[in-house]
Structure 1
Amino acid sequence: MTQWLFPPRPTPSLPITGSDLRFPVRRILCVGQNYAAHAREMGSDPDKQTPFFFSKPGDAIVSDGANPAYPSATANLHYEAELVAAIGEGGRIVGWAVGCDLTRRDLQAEAKKTGRPWDAAKGFDQSAPCGSVTLGDLPSPAGAIALTVNGETKQSGALDDMILNPDRIVEAAGKLWTLAPGDLIFTGTPSGVGPVVRGDAVVVTIDGLETLAFEVA
């Protein structure tokens, strides 16, 4: 019988729409600059873009309507609305959710300038608010994706504006990692990213999926 030095932490998980089952989260992979307009606003040329990934730990998940805390060490916390692909057996997409990639933009800018990793900018505690997983095919592959802050629309786009569609993202990720049940892939964000402060109410919507709503605590 295994004896632990201290009790293992509970496995992070997401609710599943219309079910009492939960989706256990293994890890989070994220695609960078997968919408042309967002690539341009971040200073990149989408025509010369090759797929790149960064990651967040599984316990960065914020679920079940909880409110993420404003993180330390930043004065420029940004929202990024994203479609999230949920991976099941065989590395296949089994469901979808609405996510928000929170980013310490000032730390990311410094990391880019000095050629250092993005971990502190992207993979911090409570940096991945995510809604419930809807199993099956994506309800609206060309559907709208939008984000509001305090009722004001900040991001508005369409899923078919992606440079790489979800199947191609999974194919690219599978060349770098062995995808396994419980992996989540954040598939990129449209243009219009910007800052939030404590007390801001954020709502992210994608056609056909459960809305994600939270306040910055």
Structure 2
Amino acid sequence: MSEYLFEPEQVFGIEFVGEAAIYPIRRIFCVGRNYVAHAAEMGGEVDREAPWYFTKSPANAVLSGAEVAYPPGTSNYHHEMELAFSLGADVFRATKDEARAAIFGYGCALDMTRRDRQQDGKDHRRPWDLGKDVENAAVFAPMTRVEGVELAEQRIWLSVDGEIRQDADLGEMVWSPVEIIEHLSRYYHLGPGDVVMTGTPAGVGAVEPGQVITGGIDGLTPISLQLVSPE
């Protein structure tokens, strides 16, 4: 094997409750507008024909509890609280049963967003990368194996400095994890290392340096992130 021209970054991994080994991430898929009320507050509607997606880079992911700098190039940085799930089996054009069996674990996540840069993309019919694929903008709490989770209509919530901003339940999702896998696997060979962030409920809003974000989903490990002044 040839040597690298420089030392590559270590693989980013998510912790699992009660386990020493970590789950290595290779891809992060994100579902857009998966809650009706959030779509409405963003001035849009849910596409009930099929879910749709954008991606985030594993290089831009951090673990819950991190202290990160307010990112450059924005004056409107938003929080989005989400359910994330990881895959543990290879699936392509999955049936419902295959999709259900492929889910490895569930966890809390934050999809941090440069809202002004995302709006630029919308206004000019351009990609959302500057708004969504931001350094330290995919935040993951420790996950729980699927066997330890009874996914139903659990509360999903987020607070900033102790003030509740988002408060909903998972039953409000338009597309369930199983349905997402069924659809997404028509376009990708999915497998271990793939993580999906399932969208956010209503109540997203701006955060500032010095503020602390906390969030949770009943039955899962809560999540936190502290913003500090720009570097």
Is the structural similarity TM-score above 0.5?
A: yes
Mapping of residues 33-44 of structure 1, within 5 Å: 33-44=33-44
Following superposition, the deviation at residue 88 of structure 1 comes to 1.4
Q: Count how many residue pairs are aligned between Structure 1 and Structure 2.
A: 217
Alignment CA distance shift 1:56-1:47 (3 Å)? closer
Q: Which of 102, 105, 115 is residue 115 of structure 2 equivalent to?
A: 105
Q: TM-score, normalised by structure 1?
A: 0.96
Gaps of 5+ in 2: 92-101
Deviations 1:84-109 (A, max 9, x none): 01111224110011000000000011
* SS of structure 2 residue aligned to 1:89: coil
* SS of structure 1 residue aligned to 2:66: coil
Q: Counterpart amino acid of 2:39?
A: A
Q: Is the 2:64–2:223 Cα contact (8 Å) retained in structure 1?
A: no
Is residue 2:227 matched to residue 1:216?
A: yes
Q: Is the 2:65–2:226 Cα contact (8 Å) retained in structure 1?
A: no
Alignment CA distance shift 1:140-1:187 (3 Å)? same
Q: Is the 2:86–2:193 Cα contact (8 Å) retained in structure 1?
A: yes
The residue number in structure 2 matching 1:57 is 57
Q: Counterpart amino acid of 1:61?
A: A
Q: Which moved more, 1:52-61 or 1:62-71?
A: 62-71
The residue number in structure 1 matching 2:94 is none
Is residue 2:164 matched to residue 1:153?
A: yes
Q: Hey, what's the Cα distance between the residues in 2 that align with 1:182 and 1:68?
A: 24
Q: TM-score, normalised by structure 2?
A: 0.90
Gaps of 5+ in 1: none
The residue number in structure 2 matching 1:207 is 218
* SS of structure 1 residue aligned to 2:69: coil
Is residue 2:139 matched to residue 1:129?
A: yes
Q: Counterpart amino acid of 2:61?
A: I
Q: Is the 2:70–2:208 Cα contact (8 Å) retained in structure 1?
A: yes
Q: Hey, what's the Cα distance between the residues in 1 that align with 2:89 and 2:223?
A: 26
Q: Which moved more, 1:4-13 or 1:49-58?
A: 49-58
